[in-house]
Amino acid sequence: MKKIILFTIFFILIIPNCILASDEISTDDIMNSQQESLDINSFVKEADKYTKDVYEDIDMGELFSSAITGNIDNESIIKSLIRALRRRSI
């Protein structure tokens, strides 16, 4: 009886910590697995085709990664837009 109680207490204390620890580690893993399962990378590749003329210097994969972290480089987007306009007007 004592053993059962001890095992129960052990599980109650250990399992939540294990789950919490794995949860903290795997936020990036969750996102990567979701990206793979939803095939977002192929969407990004597809998106590259549409904007080859305008965003020549911008890699859509990098843009997507920076969008995930919330650090989109607005300046480079605006610069490439201006460059495309200049190229067309000349």
Partner 1 sequence: MKNLSEGLENKGIAQITYYVQYILIVTLIMTNFVQILDVVKESIQSLVGFMNSLIPIMVTLMITTGSIVSANLIQPILLFLITFMGNFIIGVIIPLVLVSTALGVVSKISDRIQIDKLSKFFKTSVVWILGVTLTLFVGIVSIEGTLSSSVDGITAKTAKAAVSSFIPVVGKILGDAVDTVIGCSSILKNATGIVGIIILIGIAILPIIKLAVLMGVYYLCAALCQPIADDKIIKLLDQMGDTFKTLLAIMCSISVMFIIGTTLVIKISNSGMMYR
- Going by C-alpha positions, the residue among 45, 37, 34, 42 that lies closest to residue 68 is 34
* Shortest distance, position 73 Cβ to partner 1, whole Å: 11
Q: Which of 6, 7, 30, 36 binds partner 1 (CB under 8 A)?
A: 30
Residues that bind partner 1 (CB under 8 A): 11-12, 15-16, 19-20, 23, 27, 30-31, 34-35, 38-40, 43-44, 46-47, 50-51, 53-55, 60, 63-64, 67-68, 72, 77, 81, 84-85, 88-89
